[in-house]
Structure 1
Amino acid sequence: MDGFAYIIQQFDRGIQSRLISEQLATVVNTVSLVKKNPFPSLVNSIVVRLSEHFVSGSNSLRGVISRSLGQMDEQLLLVFSHNEVCRRLLIVSHSNDPLARAHTLTTLSSIACIAKENKEVHTFVIESLSSSHKHEFNGACSAVASFCRLSTDFTRTVIAQISDYLLSSTSPIDRKIQIVSIFSRIQSDQETTQSIFALGAKLFDLNTDLTFHSTLLSSLTSLAILTRFSIVDQLSLLLNVLSSTIDSSPILSFVALSNISRLANHAHVWTKEHIIKLGEYRHRVINNDDDVCCALLKALGVLARRRNPTHMGVLQEVLSEMSPLYNHQSMKIRAEFIEFSVRVFVCCPSDIHRHNLLSSISSSLVSPLPTKIGVKICRVAGLFLTNELIPDDEAVNVVSTLCKLPLSHGNVPLLIHLFSHLSQLRRVFIPSTSKWANDAIQSSAPLPSSQLAFLAFPPFAPEEEIDTKVFHRLPYTTLYEIARCGLRNGHWRGLSLPLLQSMGKLSLSLGVHDWVVSLTLLARSQPRMCSVSDMQQSLSSLSKAKKGFMKLSRSTLNPLQSFCFRYVEALEKTRLAQMELLSSMSVFISSPSPSGLFPLRPISVRTTEILSSILPFLSSSMSEWSLLLRRSFDGDDHSIDLIAIEHFAISLLHYGASCLVGKTNIVCPTLLNPTTDSVIMGETRSLLTWAVSSLQQLGGRDGVITTKSVDHFLAVFHQLYTRPIFVPRLFFQPTRRTTIKLSISPGANGELTVSPLVPVPIRVDGVISTTRKTPIDTVIVSANIHFYSTKATDRVEVRRVDTHDGNFFTAQFLLKFKESAHMDISVELVDGEKRKTWLSDASAVLRVDVNM
């Protein structure tokens, strides 16, 4: 039986059960069902069936159906029987039971994305706003909010009734507040938006309720941000409200300033007069309520962060006149002012403010701080102390002062995060933070051991300084975190290997044990010396680790998919190429040379031939890293930079070997600028820059290898081979997650029988689920057709299609098969931000049998 048909059969069996509990359970399970199988035909069938049972079911069932439909999110966009679903739901709208009508309104709110253009639905929702029944009115408000967010026509129609209701003196204030909150999510044209703002100004003057005023201002601000063209008008309204309430109503002043902060994110529409007017309130808020003062400072800080040149002069003046706040007794106010000052300093450096900031940050962090305020100050301090305009000695002095605090101080957990951030970005902090962390470890302070290990053993620290004995009594979860830190900081053998070996002796679950064993083998593969024997041992460990990660990548529970396996496979190919390269030169190195510079020419020619045969190994390794880069769509920027570094390093060896054998058409690879800044990237790039300049001296040779050229190449080879390798974060903790599910139709169970005479339409539906903020605008669907009999006729069909709301796509093929074949479907993604093309792991196979 077709998989979809079986799912529908099971659904019908549950929803038609005589037991209400089974009916409810079936409806609840539909949410996970459509998310696991988000394909149009299935989702449409289930939603239509739910609407049928909504008509005949009890109110309990209707409520569950409404909630389930509301949880389906973007899957509802796959429904194509819009009118049928709405027609069934509207049957219940004629019920005499107000609770049934309320459930209908809530359900219509849930499916607004597919019912937004239905005029009958619009009429029912608008009429329900006049209901005296509480639940029906709440359902109507929910539906109005949902439809206003999606339909300009509906907004235009409903605004007139909303206006009459809000202007009426007999309307309850709680219902007015509920309706006013709808303004924040309205989609409308310019004329309707202007009428809403005019209505808002009237309502603010006619009502005195504080909650109503707060809700109205927040909703109008959200609407202004949504429509963009009303930001200036809303800003003027908020400044006027602030002017009239700053001395009389701290609560309303705080609301006005909070909304001004939201509008400050759109500083490009602010005029200089707006900034001046806002800055004029600085004297009136300093002695006002703390929350009001913080709200003003936050708004100024957001404006400074936008770095608009026309605003910075005014902001500098405001900052100078508010300088006493550097030492304000309220840490909450001081934290906001420090952030404001840092934002201005980054754009407009000043020696006075630099010294004030250094003093204020230092004195603030040595005082006990609430966690939320401490986090803010540490975050801003990290931004300030890593700025290139801060002299190293001044920045280090602040850190040294903080390192003198007792380990029992309440701010120490916050300082650990600050020290980690600082030591990652600037090497000048590492001596102080590393010593502090080592002292904390030796004193057995009750602090997070993994974070202390990150500080104590930073990247490029000598292996002989690493002592893991103090960690062996810790829980295995902490041991794993420290070992992971070692792999990411390049201390595979010195730090990670002993801890992973200790974990391997514990009784762990099968999956965890396999993971630990694979990591142990990976840690053991770190080079110790530049020799063929060391490379053989490293290669052996990598081969075993690859098998372990291959096994783990096949598990459906593995969230990392196959990245770990591919990463280790790329390392293995690199190590193999390095070993072959060094082995090929061993004959040349060991051969006698009369002059010490020029060995026998036959040996030189032989070495050239061997080196030429090694170039494919290097090319294969380069291709593997390049492919891994294209498959790292979910990687953070630092992970992608680290993978790019490995690709560049092996590319350099390929370039150097090509120069040795006399290739003239070879181009030296270019070291691109990284997207992230860190100590790791800075030190590694310095090494690679030196390697580039060194290997470029080998260019233009005639292909005759000399002792001098070999020594020159081996000096670079030694540095590139023995340098630390930093496992990217993506290997352990992907910060983003993207999955694609494919469905091919027709073709039940992945098989299709066709006639050789008639072209067959094949449709590939895909559903994208991602945690990325930037949308996926375009996908490239490739159908690789492999014929069983005549391989020479294999071909690839490619379709470039746009996605629907970044979540769904459909690619259609019209293909004619003269013989049986199978189709391999693959998908590439086009990043909506950088317009780069990435490979995905999504795949599907269709077997096509030709009926002769």
Structure 2
Amino acid sequence: MMRMNAFNETGPGEPEQDANSALIELDKGLRSKNTGERCEAIVRFPRLFEKYPFPILINSALLKLADVFRLGSNFLRVWVLRVCQQSEKHLDKILNVDEFVRRIYSVIHSNDPVARALTLRTLGSAAGIIPERQQVHHSIRRSLDSHDSVEVEAAIYAARMFAAQSKLFAVSMCSKISDMIRGQATPASMKLQLIPILQYMHHDTSTASMVNELCMELLASYPAVEFVRVTLNAMTTLASATLIDVPDQVAVLLKYLRDDPRLSVKRHALKLLLGLAKRGAHLWPRGALENLIDSTTRLLQEGNGSSDLLLRTLDVIEVLSRSAVTCDTNMDENSPLSSLCIDACYSHDPLVAVKSVMILSRIACYCYQEGLPVNNMQHVISSLESLIVLLALDNSHVYQLKLCLMSTVKLCQAHPAHAPIFVDVIVSTLMNANSKHDSTDKQTVVLCEALGAIGSIGDNVLLPLLPDILEKLRQTTDANTKVMLCTLLFQMVAGGYEWNNECLEAIDGVIKVVDGWSKYRIARGAARYGHHGIATQIFKGLKESVASEQLHFWLSGLELLTSAENYLADDNSETVDDEKANIVGKLNGAISRYASACASFKAASTPLRSLQFASEYAKLRCEFLQALVQLIHSCRSLCTSPPPAIALSIVVATKDDFQRYGRVTYQLRKSAQDFRTCADNYHKLYQSAFDADQGSLENIRAFQNICRLMANSVDRICSGFNPATGHQHNELGEFVFGTSVEMRQLARCCLEVRRLYAPVLQISEVEEAISHSRVDALISQVMLLAGGKVRLPMPRYFFQALQATVVKLSVSPQPRVLGEPVCVPQGSQLALKIEGVLRHGKKASLFRSVAAVCISISTCPPSKINSDAKINGSNQESSANELQQTVVPHRDFFACEFLLSLGGGANNCGNNLNSGPGTSTTGTGSGNSSNGSQFQVTASASILDEDGQVWKCGPRSSLQVRVHEEPTKRKLN
């Protein structure tokens, strides 16, 4: 274990080494006289590259490995080769490519053929950075004529790698490879290795045509199974690259499927057809699908491997059915595709039956979406019902059951009228499952997930199933099943219904018997659907049963947050007047709980789990409730603070007619500004949630829209906007809510707020602008938003992130002493280099992917920043000078450079900017001391997704820079 730690294998609790320290430790291992320690050091380099993927480190490390390759034994060269192959994506970060190649290439002149073979393989693994090196091309060509088989195989490997990267090499080697394949002296095993090189000869039409002719000649001359499979694979890959040869290649593969009697060739032909189907159904020639179906039908009649070939054929058709072209041409009731799938629906192989139903249901969904007549619907429904019942009986058919239920959900989404039919089937299957056997637990969870997906399509779809769900909840013993059934209950009641005693007793019974993790999942589901009373009780019991302090504070924060929402939801008022009198107390109580929850979330944060989104979301909810309280106080000031006697003179002085109403005008305008600030903060939170799922983003956008709606309501009263021409009235029509159950509830709330907003829009000449009726309308809106009639659905991203994307920045130069500024002479420019790395979780690009990174550089004297912070609060960046540059990451690495002129009031400028940055003039700073002016340079990163949307979720890195005068200039002065 001590030896492992010597090579940067830090154990738990030990501080991690920085990049230089880790490289020094590995360099010591490379210098060791013990061969084992040298090998151990070499094999740890890929992990070092993944942890610190910066060009300076990678360049230094690979040059050291190149030295080991040049001077070491063949055994060490093998491990260096493995490092180059495993670190292929980092090779293009080598700065001294010529020196790296020179050290590796020097071994090619060795008398040892094994050393030459290892050299060729190493150069082949580095083909991405040296694709056009003529001397390497010459060495590969020369080694192909070697008499040593090891060297020839290495040359073939290198030729394949270079052909994939270099057009010049591929074209020049085409004739050489052709001659070797045709040559009688070339062994058959070597020809099998040479044929895959032909798939890269797609750079020009003539070469691709020549390769196709050669492959057709090989198919005729070498009918062995291995040759046929390798040749067809090369031809298919070549056709996928050129696209124009796809129709001919589909015809060739269909010919082998129909005429070749060998099952292995038929299977391989179907596998290649599947690859061409993924390229696009529009590339297939007319009649190809019918020929595929005819060939499969004939094979079924012959009984020759029918089940396996039919399944592979259905895989191809299933991919083709994703295209509208295939669905449109095969929507007829008696089409060959429909006949084949209808017959296959009753196959004894469950996967064959499921694939057939998937194809038919996809065609039906296409017809529903396009408004076309739907055929064979009865076959689809009956087949889906039968498969759901049969597949739920066997634990080995979980995958097939998932596919079948996915088709069911898509069909219900395309035509909601089918939902009650499938819901009855799924529930009856769920109730008939024997809960005493664990074999049906997985099927039960899958069935519950399907019910939840169908239930989110429309309101009240699952409500008739409430007695069955409660009965199943009492019968089942599996914890996962109980959690899923509780989630279904939460979804049913989330449609605007109240809990009855039977449902509450069922939930309490589940909580008493399940483990802690299942309790947390139930509470999380309750919070996501807005049932905060149930969630509060569970979190209260869980917070004292965890061993970690961070988990205790996390659960305490969740308890406080849900109790705040539950406090708002508790309505003990008998009349509307009582509710109006109690609304301020309810809001204040909820605000105090939210403040405590924010403190708990901060205490639960760790460097590995920052809880930034949860803290910001709770903080914004607290700010929104504070804005509602302030609005109520502002509305009541209409009665408590009458206008002063000098109100008319104030109107004349300010030219503001609304000043005649006195203090209420100022209070209402401040409330409108609070709502606009809260809406802006929700927008900033939206921009920071790059990894959030779509439902969480819709949740944030909904509350942003509600804040805008409230701000517009107040503005109409106290600012005199014309509803016919004001742009705010147009913005109210742009609100977009999600389609989930909880978001539909928010949409209904927004519509009700708009209805209460109507009296505000009715402006007449007789009625006062700030009148009691309009103020009462505002108070009614507040009571609707905070009176417990609207449940707050917590977004999924609040609890879990399914996608993780982290941006790490490295700014150079760095000060020699930590905490000291970087010194720049007066009149000189600072060359700032920004390097960054993108880190992804297990599911990268699940919701959105990184298309580019926008780097912003702001420079400002610290004294100016401090003064701005006191005056403007959050608007600190408005006075700073900014430069921007957009870079596209290459293998999750990006770098850019800026040239900053900090002294003498010169303009900032950037080098090699992709999009022209807005440059502005910097000040000379406030310091006239002998130490010179001091600036703060801040680098921040933003992510641009594939749709061009900017996400401000990157890190910020600050650097202190001091501009000092040269000693010679001081003497002259």
Q: CA deviation at 1:165?
A: 3.3
CA distance in 1: counterparts of 2:533 and 2:199, whole angstroms: 57
**Partner residue of 1:534?**
586
Q: What is the Cα deviation at residue 85 of structure 1? A: 0.8
Are 1:490 and 1:725, in contact at CA under 8 Å, matched by a contact in 2? yes
1:732 aligns with 2:810: no
Question: Which of 831, 852, 866 does residue 761 from structure 1 map onto?
Answer: 831
1:385-425 per-residue CA deviation (whole Å, 9 max, x = no partner) reads: 33226444434443344344324474434322322322233
In the alignment, the residues of structure 2 paired with residue 100 and residue 435 of structure 1 have an alpha-carbon distance, to the nearest angstrom, of: 76
Deviation of 1:172 after TM superposition, in Å, equals 4.5
> Following TM superposition, by how much is the alpha carbon of 1:471 offset from its aligned partner in structure 2, in angstroms?
1.8
293-302 or 15-24, larger mean C-alpha shift = 15-24
User: What residue is the counterpart of 1:648 in the other structure?
Assistant: 705
- Kindly state the Cα deviation for residue 821 of structure 1 after the two structures are TM-superposed: 0.8
Matched residue SS, 2:44: helix
Deviation at 1:434, TM superposition (A): 5.1
Letter in 2 for 1:379: M
Change beyond 3 A, Cα 1:537–1:282: same
Structure 2 counterpart of 1:597: none
Letter in 1 for 2:365: V
Letter in 2 for 1:518: G
Q: Aligned partners of 2:672 and 2:121: how far apart in 1?
A: 67
Aligned to 2:162, what secondary structure does the other structure show?
helix
Find the residue that maps to 2:952 and give its secondary structure: strand
Amino acid at match of 1:571: R
Out of 708, 713, 716, the residue aligned to residue 781 of structure 2 is 716
Residue equivalent to 2:498: 462
> For residues 161-172 of structure 1, what are the structure 2 equivalents within 5 Å?
161-168=176-183, 171-172=186-187
Structure 2 counterpart SS, 1:80: coil
Q: Are 1:318 and 2:359 counterparts?
A: no
2:943, 2:954 within 8 Å by CA — same for their partners in 1? Answer: no
Out of 371-380 and 714-723, give the one that drifted further: 714-723
Question: Counterpart of 2:249?
Answer: 234
Q: Which has the larger displacement, 360-369 or 279-288?
A: 279-288
What is the identity percentage for the equivalent residue pairs of Structure 1 and Structure 2? Answer: 21
The answer for unaligned runs of 5 or more in structure 2 is 1-16, 571-578, 643-657, 869-877, 904-932, 966-973
Give the superposition deviation at 1:364: 1.0
Alignment of 1:349-428 (within 5 A): 349=368, 350=373, 352-367=375-390, 368=393, 370-388=397-415, 390-408=417-435, 410=440, 411-428=443-460
Amino acid at match of 2:607: T
Mapping for residues 480-491 of structure 1, pairs under 5 Å: 480-491=520-531
Q: Which moved more, 1:235-244 or 1:431-440?
A: 431-440
1:452 aligns with 2:452: no
In the other structure, the counterpart of 2:914 is: none
> Structure 1 counterpart of 2:629, which letter?
M
Distance 1:624 1:353, change over 3 A: same
Looking at structure 2, the residues matched to 569 and 185 of structure 1 have their Cα atoms a distance apart, in angstroms, of 57
Alignment partners' CA distance in 1, 2:409 and 2:598: 39
State the 1:346 CA deviation: 1.3
> Does residue 1:569 correspond to 2:619, yes or no?
yes
The equivalent residue for 1:525 is: 564
CA contact (8 A) 1:403 1:436 kept: no
SS of the aligned residue for 2:432 comes to coil
User: How far did 1:827 drift?
Assistant: 1.3
The one-letter code matched in structure 2 to 1:521 is: L
Q: Distance in 2 between matches of 1:210 and 1:428?
A: 59
CA distance in 1, matches of 2:759, 2:381: 47
Say if 1:54 and 1:524 are closer, same or farther in 2 by CA, change over 3 A.
farther
DSSP 3-state at the match of 2:607: coil
> Contact conserved, 2:713 with 2:778, CA < 8 A, in 1?
yes
Aligned-residue CA RMSD in angstroms? 3.3
Q: Is the contact between residue 362 and residue 401 of structure 1 (CA under 8 Å) also seen in structure 2?
A: no
Shift of 1:292: 1.2
TM-aligned CA distance change 1:825 to 1:100, over 3 Å: same
Residue in 2 that maps onto 1:667? 728
Deviates more, 1:730-739 or 1:360-369: 730-739
Aligned pair in 2 of structure 1 residues 143, 510: CA closer, same or farther (>3 Å)? Answer: farther
- Report deviation, 1:352: 4.5
Letter in 1 for 2:861: F
Residue among 747, 752, 761 paired with 2:814: 747
Deviates more, 1:175-184 or 1:334-343: 175-184
Equivalent AA in structure 2 for residue 510 of structure 1: E
In 1, Cα distance between the equivalents of 2:92 and 2:854?
21
Could you say which residue in structure 2 is the equivalent of 1:823?
Answer: 937
Q: 1:276 to 1:25 in 2, by over 3 A?
A: same
In the alignment, which residue of structure 1 is the partner of 2:207?
192
Change (3 A) 1:825 1:419: same
* CA distance in 2: counterparts of 1:775 and 1:806, whole angstroms: 13
By how many angstroms is 1:804 displaced?
Answer: 4.6
Shift of 1:211: 3.7
Secondary structure of 2:90's partner? helix
Tell me, in whole angstroms, the C-alpha distance in 1 between the residues paired with 2:563 and 2:733: 29
CA contact (8 A) 2:330 2:337 kept: no
Between Structure 1 and Structure 2, how many residues are aligned?
837
TM-score after normalising by structure 2:
0.79
Q: Deviations over 1:216-243 (max 9, x none)?
A: 3334323332333332222121122222
Q: CA deviation at 1:256?
A: 1.8
1:346-370 deviations in Å (ceiling 9; x for gaps): 1235554222111111111111352
Secondary structure at the counterpart of residue 768 of structure 1? strand
Q: 2:853 aligns with which of 775, 779, 788?
A: 779
Q: 1:649 to 1:796 in 2, by over 3 A?
A: same
CA deviations 1:60-98 (Å, max 9, x no partner) are: 432332222333343322212111111111122333444
Which residue, 839, 844, 849 being the options, matches 2:952?
A: 839
The letter for the 2-side match of 1:191 is S
The alpha-carbon deviation at position 820 of structure 1 amounts to 1.0
**Change beyond 3 A, Cα 1:55–1:436:** farther
Letter aligned with residue 830 of structure 1? L
Report the 3-state secondary structure (helix = DSSP H, G, I; strand = E; otherwise coil) of the residue aligned with 2:513. Answer: coil
State the match for 2:753 in structure 1: 691
Q: Distance in 2 between matches of 1:184 and 1:725?
A: 57
Partner Cα separation in structure 2 for residue 813 and residue 52 of structure 1? 34
User: 128, 135, 143: which is aligned to 1:113?
Assistant: 128
8 Å CA contact retained: 2:856, 2:940: yes
- Amino acid in structure 1 at the alignment position of 2:707: I
What is the DSSP-based 3-state SS (H/G/I as helix, E as strand, rest coil) of the residue aligned with 1:112? coil
SS in 2 for 1:739: strand
Question: 2 CA distance for matches of 1:177 and 1:372?
Answer: 37
The alpha-carbon deviation at position 106 of structure 1 amounts to 3.5
- The correspondence for 2:78, drawn from 34, 49, 63, is 63
The answer (yes or no) to whether the contact 2:737–2:744 under 8 Å persists in 1 is: no
Distance 1:65 1:849 in 2: 45
- 1:339 to 2:358 alignment: yes
Where structure 1 has 5 or more consecutive residues not aligned to the other structure, the ranges are 593-600
Instruction: Using the TM superposition, give the Cα deviation of residue 339 of structure 1 relative to its aligned residue in structure 2, in angstroms.
Output: 0.8
Partner SS state of residue 479, structure 1: helix
Distance verdict in 2 for CA 1:566–1:122, change over 3 Å: farther
What SS class does the counterpart of residue 798 from structure 1 fall into? Answer: strand
Contact 2:859 2:937 in 1 (8 A): yes
SS of equivalent residue, structure 2 residue 678: helix
